[in-house]
């Protein structure tokens, strides 16, 4: 990375973990690193772009973005927003699914906590493309809450409750996670909060749904030690027995012509096709067929 950033102004504390995540991904996934910095840049501009220390910091951050953009050249994930959006979203949900699988299996460790938290940061970065879907809003809130809850349980020597648990009635503050990880990636000491095990609601939280096409491979994108116990059997894929029947009307519906399709329609159709392609990589025929049908219906009828 070309320009070294000056000390982070206190005003920009809310993006310090996004910038750290960018540094961690400079070699692992430069596209993710780019959009984490872009999110920090956009957020910083909204917070304070006039004070001398903030202007200096934002100027250096902009230099980093320009350097990284040149290094990536004609990368589709940078030149095409829809490709970049799909890249960041899929990466974030891979991390979410890895952490969720570890959680459901009762394997609680620092790397799982960090994967939950990093997934929430990457979903923040996804907002550079526009508003999050309701599903991703829930993913972000749940991942950040889970990271804090499990961290506090382990810190106090209490075994966390595995799997989805309710958020109803919790005094959840999305700004309460700012100190969850220090510069070394270790959870700092925190005082007791409403996330203590005794305050965990007993109802099951079932609002989290993974969007079509988002799949977690056996190994999360995060750098994890081999001792985490992750194997190719961690993730199970749907069997072909529930493949949806193709709607016969789709074959007989004449195309309405490009004039009836908006730019948003084309973007949605491309996204459905990308989700289908991602599903096929993991032999998920059911999800692939569903998304291809959605794309075909949108392109032929102009309706979803």
CATH number of 275's domain: 1.20.5
Q: Are residues 102 and 177 in the same domain?
A: yes
Give one word for 153, left, alpha or beta, with left for phi > 0 and alpha for psi -120 to 50: alpha
Banded pLDDT at 275 (limits 50, 70, 90)? confident
**% of residues, the chain, pLDDT over 90:** 51
Q: Are residues 59 and 174 in the same domain?
A: no
Whether residue 256 is predicted with pLDDT greater than 80 in this model: the reply is no
Average pLDDT for residues 163-173, to the nearest whole number?
Answer: 54
> Residue 2 falls within a domain, yes or no?
no
Task: Give the number of domains in the chain.
Answer: 3
Domain final residue, candidates 193, 228, 263: 228
As a whole number, mean pLDDT of residues 268-273 equals 82
**Domain shared by 70 and 107, yes or no:** no
Q: What average pLDDT does the segment 105-132 reach?
A: 96
CATH number of the domain encompassing residue 65:
1.25.40.270
pLDDT at 267: 80
Query: Does 261 reside within a domain?
Result: yes
Given a cut of 60, whether residue 211 has pLDDT beyond it is: no
pLDDT tier, 252 (very low <50, low <70, confident <90, very high otherwise):
low
Q: Look at 27-36, 99-108, 198-207 and tell me which has the smallest mean pLDDT.
A: 198-207
Q: Using alpha carbons, list the distances in angstroms from residue 37 to 90, 100, 108, 137, 220.
A: 18, 26, 30, 20, 22
Q: Cα–Cα distance between 99 and 143 in angstroms, integer?
A: 9
In the structure, what pLDDT confidence band is assigned to residue 276 with cuts at 50, 70 and 90? confident
- Indicate the pLDDT class of residue 266, thresholds 50, 70 and 90: confident
Q: Are 166 and 145 in contact (CB under 8 A)?
A: no
- The tokens of 180 are what? 């969850």
Range(s) of the domain holding residue 182: 81-228
Where among 33, 58, 79 does a domain terminate? 79
- Calculate mean pLDDT across residues 80-106: 95
Q: Is residue 128 domain-shared with residue 144, that is, in the same domain? A: yes
* Residues in Cβ contact with 251 at an 8 Å cutoff, skipping those fewer than 6 apart: none
**297 and 277 fall within a common domain:** yes
pTM score: 0.62
Question: Do residues 154 and 284 share a domain?
Answer: no
Q: Which of 67-81, 156-170, 182-196, 220-234 has the highest mean pLDDT?
A: 67-81
């Amino acid at each position: 990375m070309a320009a070294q950033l000056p000390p982070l102004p206190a005003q920009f504390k809310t993006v310090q973990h996004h910038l750290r995540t960018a540094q961690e991904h400079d070699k692992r996934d430069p596209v993710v690193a780019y959009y984490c910095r872009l999110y920090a840049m956009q957020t910083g501009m909204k917070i304070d772009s006039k004070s001398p220390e903030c202007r200096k910091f934002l100027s250096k951050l902009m230099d980093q973005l320009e350097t990284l953009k040149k290094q990536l050249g004609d990368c589709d994930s940078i030149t095409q927003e829809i490709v970049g959006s799909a890249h960041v979203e899929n990466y974030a949900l891979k991390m979410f699914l890895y952490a969720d699988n570890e959680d459901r299996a009762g394997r609680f460790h620092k790397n799982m906590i960090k994967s939950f938290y990093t997934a929430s940061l990457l979903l923040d970065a996804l907002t550079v493309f526009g508003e999050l879907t309701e599903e991703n809003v829930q993913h972000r809130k749940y991942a950040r809450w889970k990271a804090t809850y499990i961290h506090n349980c382990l810190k106090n020597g209490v075994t966390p409750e595995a799997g989805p648990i309710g958020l109803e009635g919790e005094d959840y503050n999305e700004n309460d996670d700012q100190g969850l990880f220090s510069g070394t990636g270790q959870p700092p000491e925190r005082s007791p909060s409403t996330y203590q095990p005794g305050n965990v609601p007993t109802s099951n939280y079932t609002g989290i749904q993974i969007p079509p096409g988002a799949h977690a491979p056996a190994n999360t994108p995060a750098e994890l030690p081999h001792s985490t116990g992750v194997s190719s059997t961690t993730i199970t894929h749907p069997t072909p027995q529930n493949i949806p029947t193709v709607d016969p009307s789709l074959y007989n519906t004449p195309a309405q012509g490009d004039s009836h399709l908006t730019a948003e329609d084309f973007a949605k159709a491309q996204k459905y096709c990308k989700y289908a392609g991602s599903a096929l990589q993991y032999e998920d025929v059911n999800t692939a067929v569903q998304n291809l049908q959605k794309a075909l219906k949108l392109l032929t009828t102009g309706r979803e």
